């Protein structure tokens, strides 16, 4: 098995809705000198006729860890409770590529791991993004759902294109 000597971002696959619990266990057992993140996104949801802002996980079932992977770290992670597996190809553990990190960092602002809501306006068939994480990424947007205040966006994650929903807010034309 091939290990990288420098620090890199790796992805752990865990049971969905157990991400925070597993992150807490890892911080306790492995130590807080390693960085663990669970990216989230802010969405508007309607409940009982009122709009509320909620946070949902961007990639349910995944935890990102920044570490230098060696045999000891590999077995600490592999044997930690709640972790199903590390994402890997046939012969090596996969790292998050620079391109994927750049795209994620465009979404995540000021070291916050939450993707905020983008503001946009619609003039007939023309949609313009004014502010937020989708600014400059118009080519990645697949579909808008104005009733649910969401945009479906293509994100390249671990060598796969995934469609995720991000929050949008329709504002009056400037």
pTM of the shown model: 0.82
What domains are there in the chain, each with its CATH number?
A: 8-170 (3.30.70.940)
CA angle 140, 14, 89 (to 5 degrees): 70
Instruction: Using only the alpha carbons of the chain, give its radius of gyration.
Output: 18
Instruction: Give the CA-trace dihedral at 142, 158, 99, 114, to 10 degrees.
Output: 70
- What is the residue-level pLDDT of the chain in tens, covering all 174 positions? 445 557 888 999 999 899 999 999 998 888 777 888 898 899 999 899 898 999 999 889 999 998 888 888 888 888 888 899 998 877 788 888 888 887 777 766 555 688 889 998 887 777 888 888 888 777 788 899 988 999 999 888 877 888 989 999 888 765
């Amino acid at each position: 098995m091939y290990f990288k000597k420098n620090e890199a971002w790796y992805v752990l696959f865990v049971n969905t809705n157990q991400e925070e619990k597993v992150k807490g266990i890892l911080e306790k057992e492995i130590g807080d000198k390693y960085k663990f993140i669970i990216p989230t996104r802010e969405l508007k949801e309607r409940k009982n006729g009122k709009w509320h802002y909620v946070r949902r996980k961007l990639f349910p079932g995944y935890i990102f860890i920044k570490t230098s992977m060696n045999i000891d770290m590999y077995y600490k992670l592999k044997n930690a409770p709640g972790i199903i597996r590390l994402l890997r190809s046939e012969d090596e553990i996969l790292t998050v590529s620079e391109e994927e990190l750049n795209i994620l960092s465009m979404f995540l602002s000021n070291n916050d791991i939450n993707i905020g809501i983008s503001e946009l306006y619609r003039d007939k068939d023309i949609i313009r993004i004014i502010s937020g994480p989708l600014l400059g990424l118009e080519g990645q947007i697949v579909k808008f759902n104005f009733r649910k205040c969401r945009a479906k966006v293509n994100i390249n994650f671990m060598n796969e294109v995934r469609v995720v929903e991000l929050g949008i807010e329709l504002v009056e034309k400037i």
